[in-house]
Amino acid sequence: MIDSKITDGIAVLTMTHGKANALDIEFCEALAARFQALRSEAAKAVVITGQGKMFCAGVDLKRLSEGGGDYIRAFLPALHRLYDAVFFHPKPVVAAINGHAIAGGAVLAACADRRIMAKEGGRIGVTELLVGVPFPALAFEIVRFAVPPRYLPEFTLGGATYASEAALQKGWVDEAVEPAALMGRALAAAQSLAALSAPAFAQTKMQIRQAVSERMTASGQATDRAVTEIWTAPETLAFIRDYVARTLKK
């Protein structure tokens, strides 16, 4: 699921879960566990990337539609734990977006401190509403945190995806580079952040993300109860199955 190596003191995590790095319970748990372990390991920073033309395609909708309500009730907490582990990781995290980062995959990229995308490598955006599901509380807060406020309604309600240049212009990513330069640039960005005082970086990162923590404490559980009810509703599952039939089985 994850190829993990250390390059010049930087942990490079390459997602290798099937063709699309689709998020299912097992993959979410594996990624979350890896990030938790890195807290106490010697690596100074983390680069997360994918293989080929896919960073992460988001939630495994086929598994979701087949598993139904029981699977969803187990999956959503696992997804939350993944985002929590990456977004609040105390060390620098750089997303090397090698290809498509769609829906939950775009949220995963948004967890990082820096997002660097390969030019013409793929598209990025949150398509949740096109699938018929609302954002889990933390996923929405991460998107709200990461993108310019003026584009938040367009991104979340419109469900569009963006190629690298448009993604850079609208703030989905921080840089767009040639594919051959992606990993080198990501490692350089990670090294630059890792050169800072580790305690000072961790404390400042926590302060930058404090509003997310506060909103989650205030309303996260209530939001997730409402979100789970919608995700598990029969009409939602029917919508997801229709979406899968129309788009993923072409």
CATH number at residue 129: 3.90.226.10
Per the domain annotation, does 222 fall within a domain? no
Per the domain annotation, does 239 fall within a domain? no
Number of domains in the chain: 1
Per the domain annotation, does 248 fall within a domain? no
Per the domain annotation, does 199 fall within a domain? no
Per the domain annotation, does 47 fall within a domain? yes
pLDDT in tens, the chain (250 residues): 999 999 999 999 999 999 999 999 999 999 999 999 999 999 999 999 999 899 999 999 999 999 999 999 999 999 999 999 999 999 999 999 999 999 999 999 999 999 999 998 899 999 999 999 999 999 999 999 999 999 999 999 999 999 999 999 999 999 999 999 999 999 999 999 999 999 999 999 999 999 999 999 999 999 999 999 999 999 999 999 999 998 876 5
Q: What is the per-residue pLDDT for 121?
A: 83
Structural domain boundaries, residue 164: 2-194
pTM reported for the whole predicted model: 0.97
Per the domain annotation, does 94 fall within a domain? yes
Q: What is the per-residue pLDDT for 250?
A: 53
Using the Cα atoms of residue 54, residue 224, residue 170 and residue 202 in order, give the sign of their dihedral: negative
Residue 113 — φ and ψ, nearest 5°?
A: -75, -30
Per the domain annotation, does 133 fall within a domain? yes
Residue 200 near residue 90 (C-beta atoms within 8 A): no
Per the domain annotation, does 189 fall within a domain? yes
List the structure tokens of 57: 């395609």
